[in-house]
Chain A
């Protein structure tokens, strides 16, 4: 007996959210931050990432397969929950709800984002500073990107908290409380990075 399928799937879901999807998110935010140093700097970095060897294999193994496995299984988890924050308004119960809400928003946002950049690139569009500046020239898209990116960053940070619980790294109430502070610190730091990046395109 090596555990049931649902045990292994759930643990895999937890792992993939951090490695590699979470690591990819960090890499993506860091590379995009070049936009704050000007269009040429961003184009240079995007060019480097876009011309990495084994690009399609890297994209599939590090990004798309784990990302969509995490997303689709996450949807299943979300829809088997019966949220009850109105009756039990505890902090962690709100975080539980927010984790599910931001997960769904992130999935919608990321799918649109992939369509608008990677799929567009496959049809001949060039992924560069100008592309993002054009997308973010509409105030609606700025709002959509802000909500989407902040959801993704929150989902990652709070997901780190539950990753630590799910694998048994933080067991005692005190360690879980400290982990809440640390992961919320991660959220604030990443939120600053991502909002600054978005405004660098406007």
Chain B
């Protein structure tokens, strides 16, 4: 074992109501460590840098390959997934903090329920259930499928909400992720049959119009989803939808 160590400054919080505090940890360096493996190391022997016994740090994780979004946290000031945050590529001391845009459950674990509620609000699904077999739906061109696949990479991780200056306690903005999902489901040939329902949901309070175009979301998205393109495209769709709603239309 080399005597090289890794320093962590972790923002901790014991319960949702109590005040957060910072705790320092110093671990033995191992090759190819990531933030998750370091947190596991702390869990194995929860002793802080002063040598005092402490409680193990709480965090969420699941897939460990940046597709589930559960381990999102603020690492050295930027929200990202802990599983792909390699210790070798991070400046030390490595600062970990929860994504404060969401209610903190404990330490680095946050409650992202608002994102799932937002997906329900904008009807981010394709209704195909019925009382009889409707048969196959319309086919989707392959080029369009490839394009839609990029939008479908959203893992509801919450990084775009954390980076957005318009998602905060003073605003009811649902955030960029659910907006882009509307574009995904509206682009699907079967999903397009319920296009207007989703657009109208986006035009409710806290919807699309609350975007302020800071474009932090598209810069921060770990999956490279063209969030601001989706938003601008939905701006266009809702412009037409608003006129249709107001004046009526003979288009079915």
Which residue numbers of A lie inside 8 Å of B, CB to CB?
A: 1-8, 10-11, 77, 79-84, 87-88, 90, 92-93, 96, 162, 165-173, 176
Q: Does B219 contact A (CB under 8 A)?
A: yes
Contact between A3 and B170 (Cβ–Cβ < 8 Å)?
Answer: no
A92: contacting residue among B215, B241, B246, CB under 8 A: B215
Q: How far is the CA of A167 from the CA of B231 in the complex (A)?
A: 10
5 residue pairs from A and B, CB less than 8 Å apart:
A4-B207, A82-B168, A83-B165, A84-B163, A171-B235
Q: Does B127 contact A (CB under 8 A)?
A: no
A170: contacting residue among B232, B237, B242, CB under 8 A: B232
B173 to chain A, nearest CB (A): 8
B91 to chain A, nearest CB (A): 15
Tell me which residues across on chain B come within 8 A of A96, comparing CB atoms. Answer: 165, 212-215
Contact between B245 and A162 (Cβ–Cβ < 8 Å)?
Answer: no
Tell me which residues across on chain B come within 8 A of A162, comparing CB atoms. Answer: 212-213
Contact between A166 and B235 (Cβ–Cβ < 8 Å)?
Answer: yes
Tell me which residues across on chain A come within 8 A of B168, comparing CB atoms. Answer: 80-82
New A-B contacts (5) at CB < 8 Å, excluding given A7-B242, A90-B214, A168-B233: A3-B245, A4-B204, A82-B170, A84-B165, A167-B239
Knowing A3-B238, A7-B203, say if A171 contacts B229 (CB, 8 Å): yes
Tell me which residues across on chain A come within 8 A of B112, comparing CB atoms. Answer: none
A78 to chain B, nearest CB (A): 10
Q: How far is the CA of A42 from the CA of B203 in the complex (A)?
A: 47
Which residue numbers of B lie inside 8 Å of A, CB to CB?
A: 77-78, 163, 165-166, 168, 170-171, 200, 203-210, 212-216, 219-220, 226, 228-229, 231-239, 241-242, 245-246
Contact between A167 and B235 (Cβ–Cβ < 8 Å)?
Answer: yes
B4 to chain A, nearest CB (A): 29
Contact between A4 and B78 (Cβ–Cβ < 8 Å)?
Answer: no
Contact between B205 and A6 (Cβ–Cβ < 8 Å)?
Answer: yes
Contact between B232 and A82 (Cβ–Cβ < 8 Å)?
Answer: no
Residue of B nearest to A84 (CB): B165
Contact between B166 and A173 (Cβ–Cβ < 8 Å)?
Answer: no
Residue of B nearest to A11 (CB): B209
Contact between A1 and B171 (Cβ–Cβ < 8 Å)?
Answer: no
Tell me which residues across on chain A come within 8 A of B213, comparing CB atoms. Answer: 92, 96, 162, 165-166
